[in-house]
C-alpha cells in the first residue's frame, strides 16, 4: 500500500518531469568522458535549491543511476569509459563494436542494466523497512560505532594505501570541525571570517573536490572527440540468450550484495562480475575478444549496485560510496535526516523516491535502446567547448548557495586541492564521507561519553557497538597486514630484477 501511494506521488506530472530531467542529465554525465556520477551530481546539486525535497531527491537519484547507463555508450563505441565502472565494459564492448556488433553490446547492457536496477530497487523496498525497524533500537553508542565502521571500510578499501586513506579521512574530519561546537556552541576555526562561523557549506566543497578537480584532470589529459561507429541490431544472437541471461542474473545478485557494504563503489561489483563470468565460462579465451557476457554481467552488476547502496543511506544514514555521500548532503540540505526514522517520519518521501526509480529505469531503457545512436553523437562535442560550460554552471551553482562570492572561492580552492590530491594518489571519497559524517559522529560520541561519564571503553561493553568497533579494528589490522605484504612482494620483485 505504501509503495502504491509512492507511485501516486511519483506519477504527478512535475515529479515525472524531474525524474526525466534527472535520468537525462545522468545519461549526459555518463556519456561525456571526464565526468562521472559523483562529479555530475555534485555540480548539478545547486539546481535543486527551492525545489520540494521529494522532487529534488528524485532528480538527483535519476542523475546517479542514469550515469551508470550512459557510461556504457562511450566504452563500447570509442573505447573511452564515461565513468569508472564502465572501464570493465571496454574489455569486450569495444571489440564487439569493431566486429560490427556495437548495437548488440549496447542492447545487452541496456537490458541488463534495466533488470539489475529494477530488481535491486525491489530489494530496497523489501529489505529497507525491516532494517530501519531494527536500527530504531540503536542508541548514540551504536550509531557512533556504525559510522566508525563505515569510515573504516572506506579508508581501508579505497585507494592503494591505508596511509593515504587515513590522510584523506583526517582531512575530512578536520574540515568538519569548522563552525559551531555541537554541544557548547563555541565557534571553532572561523579565522575572523563571518562566512566560516557555520563551517564550510557542503555544496561548494563537493563541487570543488569532485567537479572542478575532474575538469582540471580531464583538461590535462587532452581528451579528443572521436566519431562513433554505426549501431545496427540491438539484440544478441539466438545461441547467446541463455548465457547472457545467466550473466545478467549473476550480476544482479552480486551488485546488490556489494552495494550493502560501506566503503565499496560501483567498480568493485563490475570487476567481480567480469571475473565470475570468466570462471563459469566454457571458453574463457573469448573474453577480451568480444564476449557478450563480458558486457552483460558487469553492466548489470554496477546498476544493481545502485539499489543496494541506497539501503544503508535510507535505513542507517551511512553513505557507502562517494556519490551516495553527495546524496546524503542533499538530504541534509533539504532538511531530511537519513536513518532509521526516515521510514517512520517521512514515509511519503521514501516511497515516492523508490517508486520514481522504477519509472526512471523504464525511461532509461527507452533512451538506451532506440536512441543510443543519438547519445553516441554527443561524444563528438569538442571538450574545449564542453569544459567551460560545465565550469560556468558550477560557478553559478556555487554562488546560488548563499549568494556570495566566498562560496565560489571555496569551490575553486577545493577544486585545486582535489586536483593536487589526485596527483599524489590520495582518494577524495574519504574526505567527503568524513566531512558529511563528522558532525553526526561528534554528536553521537559526545552523547555516548555523557551517558558513560567520559568512559570511552564502556562502548565496547554494549553488544552491538562493541562488535562494530572490534570489527573496525580488525579491518584496519587486515589492511595494514595486506599493505605490508604488498610492499614486501614489490620489493622482492625489484630485487629479482
- pLDDT score at 492: 52
C-alpha 481 chain-centroid distance: 28
- pLDDT score at 398: 75
- pLDDT score at 468: 85
Question: Are the CB atoms for 78 and 71 separated by under 8 Å?
Answer: no
- Among the listed residues 8, 2, 15, 41, the one whose alpha carbon sits nearest the alpha carbon of residue 363: 15
- pLDDT score at 373: 67
DSSP calls for 63-78: HHHHHHHHHHHHHHHH
- The domain segmentation of the chain, as residue ranges, is 2-487
- pLDDT score at 173: 85
- pLDDT score at 495: 46
- pLDDT score at 227: 59
Q: Which residues of the chain have pLDDT under 50?
A: 159, 491, 494-495, 497
Tell the residue number behind the cell numbers 566543497, with chain if given: 205
Amino acid at each position: 500500500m505504501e509503495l502504491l501511494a509512492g507511485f501516486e506521488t511519483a506519477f504527478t506530472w512535475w515529479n515525472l518531469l524531474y525524474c526525466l530531467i534527472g535520468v537525462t542529465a545522468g545519461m549526459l554525465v555518463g556519456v561525456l568522458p571526464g565526468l562521472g556520477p559523483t562529479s555530475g551530481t555534485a555540480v548539478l546539486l545547486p539546481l535543486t535549491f527551492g525545489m520540494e525535497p521529494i522532487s529534488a531527491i528524485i532528480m538527483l537519484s535519476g542523475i546517479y543511476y542514469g550515469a551508470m547507463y550512459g557510461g556504457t555508450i562511450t566504452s563500447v563505441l570509442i573505447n573511452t569509459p564515461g565513468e569508472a565502472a564502465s572501464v570493465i565494459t571496454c574489455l569486450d564492448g569495444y571489440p564487439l563494436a569493431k566486429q560490427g556488433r556495437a548495437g548488440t553490446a549496447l542492447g545487452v547492457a541496456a537490458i541488463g542494466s534495466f533488470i539489475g536496477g529494477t530488481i535491486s530497487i525491489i530489494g530496497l523496498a523489501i529489505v529497507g523497512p525491516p532494517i530501519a525497524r531494527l536500527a530504531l533500537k540503536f542508541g548514540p553508542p551504536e550509531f557512533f560505532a556504525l559510522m566508525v565502521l563505515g569510515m573504516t571500510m572506506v579508508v581501508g578499501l579505497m585507494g592503494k594505501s591505508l596511509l593515504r586513506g587515513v590522510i584523506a579521512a583526517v582531512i575530512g574530519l578536520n574540515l568538519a570541525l569548522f563552525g559551531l561546537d555541537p554541544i557548547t556552541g563555541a565557534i571553532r576555526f572561523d579565522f575572523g571570517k563571518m562566512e566560516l562561523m557555520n563551517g564550510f557549506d557542503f555544496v561548494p566543497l563537493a563541487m570543488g573536490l569532485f567537479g572542478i578537480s575532474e575538469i582540471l584532470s580531464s583538461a590535462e589529459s587532452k581528451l579528443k572527440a572521436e566519431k562513433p561507429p554505426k549501431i545496427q541490431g540491438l539484440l544478441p544472437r539466438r545461441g547467446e540468450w541463455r548465457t547472457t541471461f545467466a550473466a545478467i542474473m549473476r550480476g544482479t545478485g552480486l551488485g546488490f550484495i556489494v552495494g550493502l557494504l560501506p566503503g565499496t563503489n560501483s567498480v568493485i561489483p563490475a570487476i567481480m562480475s567480469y571475473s565470475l563470468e570468466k570462471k563459469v565460462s566454457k571458453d574463457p579465451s573469448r573474453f577480451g575478444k568480444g564476449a557478450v557476457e563480458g558486457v552483460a554481467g558487469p553492466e548489470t552488476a554496477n546498476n544493481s549496485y545502485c539499489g543496494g547502496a541506497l539501503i544503508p543511506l535510507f535505513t542507517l544514514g551511512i553513505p557507502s560510496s562517494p556519490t551516495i555521500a553527495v546524496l546524503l548532503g542533499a538530504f541534509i540540505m533539504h532538511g531530511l535526516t537519513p536513518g532509521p526514522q526516515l521510514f517512520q517520519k517521512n514515509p511519503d518521501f521514501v516511497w515516492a523516491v523508490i517508486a520514481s526509480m522504477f519509472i526512471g529505469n523504464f525511461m532509461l531503457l527507452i533512451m538506451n535502446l532506440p536512441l543510443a545512436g543519438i547519445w553516441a553523437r554527443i561524444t563528438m562535442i569538442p571538450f574545449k567547448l564542453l569544459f567551460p560550460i560545465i565550469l560556468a554552471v558550477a560557478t553559478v551553482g556555487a554562488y546560488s548557495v548563499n549568494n556570495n562570492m566566498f562560496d565560489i572561492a571555496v569551490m575553486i580552492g577545493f577544486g585545486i586541492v582535489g586536483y593536487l590530491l589526485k596527483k599524489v594518489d590520495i582518494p577524495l571519497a574519504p574526505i567527503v564521507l568524513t566531512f558529511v559524517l563528522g558532525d553526526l559522529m561528534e554528536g553521537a560520541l559526545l552523547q555516548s561519553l555523557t551517558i558513560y561519564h567520559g568512559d570511552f571503553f564502556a562502548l565496547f561493553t554494549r553488544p552491538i557497538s562493541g562488535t562494530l568497533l572490534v570489527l573496525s579494528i580488525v579491518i584496519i589490522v587486515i589492511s595494514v597486514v595486506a599493505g605490508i605484504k604488498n610492499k614486501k612482494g614489490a620489493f622482492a620483485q625489484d630485487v629479482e630484477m
